[in-house]
Each structure stands twice: as structure tokens, then as C-alpha cells.
């Protein structure tokens, strides 16, 4: 078969285009071509009076995954008043876990295949004579590794247990897995309700097992799910029954310790208190006597929760019209995409940050701002020359 011969000028044009592609540092570091086209409107925010002072008081950088906008944000409250928002583009980021002792941030990118990125603060820049290396580049979080796992895992939450081992909710397998290097994982926990004829059912998502309240061990941990039974209808079906069907399982027994929830997410342990977002009603609260004790109701689908000292940071998302029946306790028209700082002691709202063009928040976690002030890409304007030098010569700690 003969192929049409291209003229020299056609070939030259094609080769020139190829040579110009994949030059943007955000694009290359995220392994995602569209990272270069992040819509700046998604980064616009408005804060209430108490928001930034709360972060300044705690001295933290707060990380937020916004899954449907393919963004991870870092929010730093600086004592100097120079509050800072930075970002890293990533395909559909979901779970987020921070190893504060190892100064490492793990983020799940949940497309097919699933990926888990690790980030560490920049420690130094290589000595170069072909570029002008800044004397003080600060300590931005730079990517260290990216690991690939089967897309069927459908990773949601990430958590660190024991000696810093990384675990994930394999929602597509109704189980919790330990993630290992080289595309490997192992099943480490699942609830009793998925055992059929003596064997666990790992072949399809049946209960939306989606978060980990990490204790020291799996037995001391807890796990949220949308149901405690395998039924004919599955999560994702528009008529999947959700109202009051959600539970939190005990890691020790594999049985529910809390019932009556609606699409719960982001279970977390604080001392001996078990916190959880009751997403379908826009609530966050504490488990007491097998039921949810509501601490605060918020304007949106509550998902994303972390606690720093005595302050809980809770995310709210807009209601996706297609799945409005999953949120029977919310008014879709008044839902907002934002984060809200709440006193753990009183339930008082201390401050909020909202993104007018935002959509979905999945996970929130924090690290001391003395370790890092966030990602290398700045809001509102990227600084391409600085980014180029950073990625050209960086070494992680």
C-alpha cells in the first residue's frame, strides 16, 4: 500500500509543532496535557473576615483537592499578612494524606489508571551556569514520585497508619487496601456485609466504602460507607437508595457503629472522638451512641474534613443536578463550593473561603507552614521563568 508523500514544508510544520509541545512545567509534571489551560476563574475566591486570621493563628498550609476541576490548592495564612494561594493541576484528584513527620504529601488521581503522587518540599537547587538559579527559592512542594494502580480500585480516601504505611479505600472493590510500590496492593480490611458464601466480593462497587478514620491500627480505625448491604441497585444508579442508609464500620468488628447517615464521607478520629461529614444533609458531627450528633450544618454537600488543634476544616460542594436525590437534606440552589473553619468546642463558624466558580471538593489536610508554603504554581499569575528554573534544577528533601 502506497502512502501519500508529504511535502517538505508540511513535514517541517508538523515537526515544528511537535518540538513546541510538552514544554509547560505544569503539563509535564502532572503528566496531563490540559494542565496548561487551567481556567483562572476556578482560582478566584472570597473570604469572610475570620478565615485568613484562623490560618495565621494555626500557622498551617491547608491542602484542598477539587476533583471535578482537576486542581489541588494550597492555602497559607502568613503572619506577615501575605496570605498565599498556590496550586497544582491534576486529573480528578481525590484522596489526600499528609505525613507531617516525613514532610510528604500524598494525593490520589482517580482516573483510569489510578495514580498516587507524592510531594516533598524543595530542599535545594542544583548549581547551574546555564540558568540563573535564585538564592532563595523557598520551600515549595515539588513532585517526588507517581505510582500507577488499576482503575478498578477507584481510590477515594488515603490514610497513613502505623509506621507511615499508605492505605486507600478501594471503593470499586468494597475494601481497604495497602498501597505498595510497583503497581502492587493488598487487601487488608473489608466489612462483613460483603462476604457472600464465605468469600468477600471484590469485583464491583456495592456499598461506596469511601473514607478512613485512621487509628494506630486497622482494628482501631473506622470506615464510612453509603450502605451496609449488597443490594440490587448499586452506587451510581440514579435511584440508588441513600437516605438514612449510610453507616460507619468498626475496623475491629466489621460491623456498623453508626447508622442513619446519608452518603457519609471523610470520617476522621480526633483523640477518641469519631467525626464525619453527613454529606446528603450538609452536616458535620460526632458519632455518639451509634448516631450522629450534629455540630454544624453548612450550605452544601459536606465532604472533606481535617482537624488542626481545636478547629475543624470542612468542605462543601455544589449539588450535581444529576445526583440531586443523593442530597435530600439540601437546597441545591444555595449550595456553595468552599471551606469552613469551625470550633470543635462550640460549633461556632470562625471563617469561610468560597470559590464562586468552584464545584466539588473532595479532601482536606494540613501541614505546618514552616515546612512549606504550598505548590510551585502561584495564584493569580504563574511565573513561568521561576517555574522553569525550579523544575530544571530542584532536589527534594
pLDDT the model gives residue 82: 79
Examine residue 113 and say whether the peptide bond preceding it is cis (omega within 30 degrees of 0).
yes
Tell the CATH superfamily of the 45-396 domain.
TolB, C-terminal domain (2.120.10.30)
Q: How far is Cα 50 from Cα 323, in angstroms, rounded to an integer? A: 33
Residue 183 to residues 51, 148, 207, 341, Cα–Cα distance (Å): 40, 6, 25, 37
C-alpha angle with apex 246: 197 to 302, nearest 5 degrees?
140
Q: Could you tell me the residue ranges of all domains in the chain?
A: 45-396
> How many CA atoms, within 13 angstroms, populate the side-chain half-sphere of residue 306?
22
Which residues, 6+ apart, have CB-to-CB distance to 8 below 8 Å?
Answer: none
E strand or H helix at 28: helix 25-30
- The residue written with cell numbers 462483613 in the block is 192
Q: pLDDT tens across 348-381, in order?
A: 999 999 999 999 999 999 999 999 989 999 887 7
Q: What is the pLDDT of residue 86?
A: 95
**In this predicted model, what pLDDT tens digit does every residue of 282-322 receive, in sequence order?**
999 999 999 999 999 999 999 999 999 999 999 999 999 99
pTM equals: 0.95
Amino acid at each position: 500500500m502506497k502512502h501519500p508523500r508529504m511535502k517538505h514544508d508540511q513535514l517541517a510544520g508538523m515537526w515544528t509543532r511537535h518540538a513546541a509541545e510538552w514544554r509547560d512545567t505544569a503539563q509535564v509534571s502532572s503528566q496531563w496535557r490540559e494542565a496548561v489551560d487551567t481556567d483562572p476563574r476556578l482560582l478566584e475566591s472570597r473570604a469572610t473576615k475570620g478565615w485568613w486570621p484562623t490560618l495565621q493563628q494555626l500557622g498551617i498550609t491547608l491542602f484542598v483537592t477539587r476533583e471535578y476541576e482537576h486542581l489541588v490548592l494550597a492555602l497559607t495564612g502568613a503572619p506577615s499578612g501575605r496570605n498565599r494561594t498556590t496550586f497544582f493541576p491534576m486529573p480528578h484528584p481525590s484522596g489526600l494524606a499528609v505525613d507531617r513527620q516525613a514532610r510528604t504529601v500524598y494525593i490520589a488521581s482517580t482516573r483510569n489508571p489510578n495514580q498516587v503522587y507524592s510531594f516533598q518540599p524543595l530542599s535545594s537547587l542544583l548549581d547551574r551556569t546555564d540558568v540563573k538559579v535564585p538564592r532563595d527559592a523557598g520551600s515549595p512542594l515539588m513532585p517526588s514520585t507517581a505510582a500507577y494502580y488499576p482503575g478498578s480500585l477507584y481510590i477515594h480516601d488515603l490514610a497513613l497508619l502505623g509506621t507511615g504505611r499508605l492505605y486507600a479505600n478501594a471503593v470499586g472493590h468494597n475494601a481497604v487496601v495497602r498501597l505498595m510500590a510497583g503497581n502492587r496492593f493488598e487487601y487488608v480490611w473489608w466489612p462483613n456485609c460483603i462476604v457472600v458464601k464465605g468469600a468477600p466480593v471484590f469485583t464491583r462497587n456495592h456499598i461506596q466504602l469511601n473514607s478512613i478514620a485512621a487509628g494506630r491500627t486497622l482494628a482501631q480505625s473506622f470506615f464510612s460507607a453509603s450502605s451496609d448491604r449488597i443490594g440490587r441497585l448499586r452506587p451510581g444508579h440514579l435511584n440508588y437508595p441513600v437516605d438514612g442508609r449510610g453507616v460507619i464500620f468498626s475496623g475491629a468488628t466489621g460491623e456498623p457503629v453508626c447508622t442513619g447517615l446519608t452518603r457519609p464521607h471523610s470520617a476522621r478520629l480526633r483523640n477518641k472522638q469519631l467525626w464525619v461529614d453527613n454529606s446528603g444533609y450538609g452536616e458535620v458531627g460526632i458519632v455518639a451512641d451509634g448516631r450522629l450528633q450534629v455540630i454544624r450544618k453548612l450550605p452544601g454537600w459536606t465532604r472533606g474534613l481535617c482537624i488542626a488543634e481545636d478547629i475543624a476544616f470542612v468542605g462543601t460542594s455544589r449539588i450535581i443536578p444529576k445526583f440531586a436525590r443523593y442530597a435530600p437534606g439540601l437546597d441545591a440552589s444555595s449550595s456553595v463550593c468552599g471551606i469552613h473553619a469551625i470550633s470543635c468546642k462550640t460549633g461556632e463558624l470562625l471563617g469561610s473561603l468560597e470559590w464562586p466558580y468552584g464545584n466539588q471538593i473532595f479532601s482536606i489536610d494540613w501541614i505546618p507552614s514552616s515546612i512549606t508554603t504550598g505548590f510551585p504554581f502561584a495564584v493569580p499569575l504563574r511565573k513561568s521563568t521561576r517555574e522553569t528554573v525550579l523544575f530544571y534544577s530542584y532536589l527534594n528533601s
